[in-house]
Amino acid sequence: MKFFADTAEIDDIKELAATGLLDGVTTNPSLIAKSGRDFMEVTREICGLTDGPVSAEVVALDHATMMKEAEVLRKIADNVCIKVPLTIDGLKTCKALTEDGTMVNVTLCFSANQALLAAKAGATFISPFVGRHDDNGFDGMELISDIRLIYDNYGFDTEILVASVRHVTHVLESAKIGADVMTAPPKVIKSLFNHILTDKGIEGFLADWEKTGQSITG
């Protein structure tokens, strides 16, 4: 499963890239606003930190203006992936862009039927929002299972990009279902490393090592 960082914070992206675990980045207008940075400038900087796809979202609601915005965004770098909302105009834009060889991430997906539409429109990625789904009394993981089943039934190439990931269990369940990608805030990705028994194990080994009085490097 590929790991994307869901952030526009440069320091966090650099730190994750250094672990070798970073396969791409997703941003949205809220994350850009939170960064306080210029959209074009920060997106260009992020594109230079990973070879993987960097999602940059259009803000227009109509197809013609979405295409104009996408035209500007895709010139930023070869690894820009245009993010469009799951609306009729969004999917028209998706079809036009992917037919032209541009990566498209269809965002704000909350049903398996919507995911089916996005795949038929040629989406590179579909982003079901599991956290927001859970928040509203639905089952985010059931949504991922349903999309996996439908995409496998018909052999769609669209990658399932699990979004709105809130905790490590979302990551684990997504991997068990066979989602292609997950995007999570850096703190969730970093928390995947944590286990109390790893910490305790290191503590015990170091205490015993001290008793030997030895040093590996001399």
- Residue 43 binds ligand E4P, judged by CB under 6 A: no
Dihedral angle sign, alpha carbons of residues 5, 7, 9, 12: negative
Distance separating alpha carbons of residues 190 and 213, to the nearest angstrom:
33
CA–CA distances in Å: residue 121 to residues 67, 84, 92, 106, 129: 15, 12, 7, 10, 19
159 binds ligand E4P (CB under 6 A): no
Q: Write out the binding residues for ligand E4P, residues 92-111 only, by CB under 6 A.
A: 107
- CA–CA gap between residue 63 and residue 50 (Å, rounded): 29
| The binder of ligand E4P chosen from 8, 22, 25, 28 (CB under 6 A) | 28
Q: CB 89 → ligand E4P: shortest distance, Å?
A: 18
Q: Annotated catalytic residue: which of 83, 120, 176, 211? A: 83
Shortest Å distance, C-beta 30 to ligand E4P = 6
Q: Does 178 bind ligand E4P (CB under 6 A)?
A: no
Which stretches of 111-179 are DSSP H helices? 112-120, 130-135, 140-154, 168-177
Site size toward ligand E4P, by CB under 6 A? 11
By CB under 6 A, is residue 129 in contact with ligand E4P? yes
- Decide if residue 6 touches ligand E4P (CB under 6 A): yes
Nearer to ligand E4P by Cβ, of 36 and 213: the residue is 36
- Count of other CB atoms within 10 angstroms of residue 23: 19
Does 164 interact with ligand E4P (rule: CB under 6 A)? Answer: yes
Q: Which lies closer to ligand E4P via its Cβ, residue 135 or residue 199?
A: 135
- Does position 50 interact with ligand E4P (CB under 6 A)? The reply is no
Q: Is the dihedral of CA 35, 39, 40, 46 positive or negative?
A: positive
Mode of pairing for the β-strands spanning 2-6 and 80-85: unpaired
The CA–CA distances, whole Å, from 187 to 26, 81, 167, 176, 194 equal: 15, 23, 9, 21, 11
Residues annotated as catalytic are 83
Binding site for ligand E4P (CB under 6 A): 6, 26, 28, 107, 127, 129, 131-132, 163-164, 183
